[in-house]
A and B are shown apart, each in its own frame.
Chain A
Amino acid sequence: MTSKDIAAEIRAYVVAEYLAGEDASDLTGDYALIDNGVIDSLGLIRLISHLTETYQVSFDDIEFGPDNFRSLDAIVELVKTNSAATTAA
């Protein structure tokens, strides 16, 4: 998977999961997902489980906090740096 594919997949997941039925055309890479309540603490658990399954990111080994998930850009960066499935991309 290229990083562009990853960004597109994660964006699609966030839109489908947390913004269902809403106009997400202005969802930019730096939009504050956590500060603005799109992803709450329970939603974060679902997101982590999705990323774990899709990208084989092992969150057990990473020192992570809500800041790592603050925006789409941050999430993509986290996945790119830590995913077993994208090391060649």
Chain B
Amino acid sequence: MPSPCLADAVAVHGVHRPHRTALVFNDRTVTYGELIELTQDYRGRLIELELPAGSTVCVPAHKSPETIALLLAAFHEGLVVLAPAPDLGAAALARLSQQARATHVLTATDVLTAEPVEGDETAAAGFSKADPKRTCLLLTTSGSTGTPKIVPIAATGFDAFAAWATAEFALSADDVALSYAPLNFDLALLDIWTFLQLGAQVVLVDQGKATDGAYVHAQVADHDVTFVQGVPMLYRLLTEAGTTFPSVREVIFTGDSVPAALLEPVSVDFPKARFHNIFGCTETNDSFIYEVDPAKLNGKMPIGRPIAGTDALVSEAGELLVATPFQTDGYLNSTLNADTFTVIDGRTFYRTGDLVTRDDDGLYSLQGRADWQVKVRGVRTNLQEVEQVISAHPEVLEAVVVPLPDEQAGVRLHAHVSRHPSSTLTSLRLRSHAGEHLPRHAIPTSVHITDVPLPRTSTGKPDRNLIKSNRLKEILT
């Protein structure tokens, strides 16, 4: 996908092993032969659209065999696919499509629908046109703004990544992956696209049922999954029942730090597995790996060491900079690149925004964020950006968004908002506004609206710590 090699490889599997299972989705099984047939149908429809060669199209990443076939079809046709989150608000989706200069928004269900995008050069100002020779997939950062950053996935970078992952985890056509993350996450580069390139099987977790423990459990147990990759919440769901998964030989933790309490149940329930923690982001793909021995690990899990071919540097302020063989050539919005990418000794490094320490053995550990980022249900979310969206409501005077600890979600967001004197704004109306401009995980879980000015620090800034501790006290009483 991310590369022409991938689309070709899948097509070859369709010919050589048409009866092997490619995808499992709920009660459906899709063989490689059927996947190729579906892909060919969509290719026919794409040709009818008569798009100029190398055009960009937007495909909201509904996680389904149809969407996967549509992406493969687009790669065959030499198109570039922008694949944003499927639950993005309509306004944000339109803006993103305009920025990427997408010609159509395509949706694949039983039939393929194509909605033309109304071009807007003002919205696209500062954005490069994606180069179809270098990329065929544009992902968006899981950041929280209405307009996430668009990250072109380098085609050669994907090929290098698939080769690395195949060797590192000794993957073959006999493996079965559980794909837990949404299709628009970079994690799909491994647990969907690398597996399809190999002719292996992928069990797609339905996004609508991703927090249903019994359902997720059945996906692993019923399909003899060998490879599981996911955020800590996935493992909490899988270990709830206390049963074992003897078919799983590789367990990957990613996306968030693993709570110590999870290690024992995981090591018991996956008796045949090796365990790795992987660290990465959309911009660079995976950069660090750590093989975990759940029985021996005391305290916090390190992110480990740079993976082969990756260079890592730590700035004076403690920020991690990485250069990987898989990384993007830069954001489509080129004005952002100077602040985020920096060339050192001829190699382009990405500033992760993560603060790290390195111990005497060369193991790196995360110490927090250099900016406003938190993780809500494993998704990187920028508090300042959520505040900006809420503050943009015409009846809002001032807004502060604070992260509160949550046993299940890791973090949930609380908004403390003062409204204009004559306003009758309610939290529900403010949520509607947030829902239009933010992905769901970034909509605050609780919203407090007040006519009282926000509390201030001695320097006159809103006192975030006081707002947070007041809210925590309120919840506990």
Chain A interface residues toward B at CB < 8 A: 19-27, 31-32, 34-38, 40-42, 44-45, 65-66
**Distance between Cα atoms of A19 and B430 in the complex (Å):** 13
**Distance between Cα atoms of A23 and B431 in the complex (Å):** 12
Question: Are B212 and A45 in contact, with the CB atoms below 8 A?
Answer: yes
In the assembled complex, B347 has its CB within 8 A of some CB on chain A: no
Name B441's closest neighbour in chain A (CB-CB).
A40
| Interface of chain A, main secondary structure | loop
Question: Are B428 and A37 in contact, with the CB atoms below 8 A?
Answer: no
Question: Are B426 and A45 in contact, with the CB atoms below 8 A?
Answer: no
In the assembled complex, B156 has its CB within 8 A of some CB on chain A: no
Chain B interface residues toward A at CB < 8 A: 87, 208-212, 377, 408-409, 426-429, 431-432, 434-435, 438, 440-441, 443-449, 474
Question: Are A35 and B208 in contact, with the CB atoms below 8 A?
Answer: no
Cβ of B447: which chain A residues have Cβ within 8 Å of it? Answer: 22
**Distance between Cα atoms of A70 and B446 in the complex (Å):** 18
Question: Are A21 and B426 in contact, with the CB atoms below 8 A?
Answer: no
**Distance between Cα atoms of A42 and B408 in the complex (Å):** 8
Cβ of A66: which chain B residues have Cβ within 8 Å of it? Answer: 208
Ordered by A's residue number, 26 sampled pairs between the chains whose C-beta atoms are within 8 Å are A19-B427, A21-B448, A22-B447, A23-B427, A24-B428, A25-B426, A26-B428, A31-B428, A32-B435, A35-B87, A35-B435, A36-B432, A37-B431, A37-B440, A37-B443, A37-B445, A38-B428, A38-B431, A40-B377, A40-B409, A40-B440, A40-B445, A42-B211, A42-B408, A45-B211, A65-B209
Name A28's closest neighbour in chain B (CB-CB).
B428
Name A44's closest neighbour in chain B (CB-CB).
B211
Closest 7 A/B residue pairs (Cβ): A37-B443, A36-B435, A36-B431, A22-B427, A65-B208, A41-B211, A23-B426
Question: Are A41 and B449 in contact, with the CB atoms below 8 A?
Answer: no
Q: Which one of B209, B434, B474 contacts A37 once the chains associate, using CB atoms below 8 Å? A: B434
Question: Are B445 and A26 in contact, with the CB atoms below 8 A?
Answer: no
Name A48's closest neighbour in chain B (CB-CB).
B212
Cβ of A40: which chain B residues have Cβ within 8 Å of it? Answer: 377, 409, 440-441, 445
Q: Do A37 and B208 form a contact, CB below 8 Å, given A23-B426, A23-B449, A27-B428?
A: no
**Distance between Cα atoms of A75 and B87 in the complex (Å):** 20
**Distance between Cα atoms of A38 and B211 in the complex (Å):** 16
**Distance between Cα atoms of A36 and B428 in the complex (Å):** 8
Q: Which one of B87, B208, B409, B434 contacts A42 once the chains associate, using CB atoms below 8 Å? A: B409
Cβ of A20: which chain B residues have Cβ within 8 Å of it? Answer: 446
Cβ of B438: which chain A residues have Cβ within 8 Å of it? Answer: 37
A44 to chain B, nearest CB (A): 7
Name B89's closest neighbour in chain A (CB-CB).
A35
**Distance between Cα atoms of A38 and B446 in the complex (Å):** 8
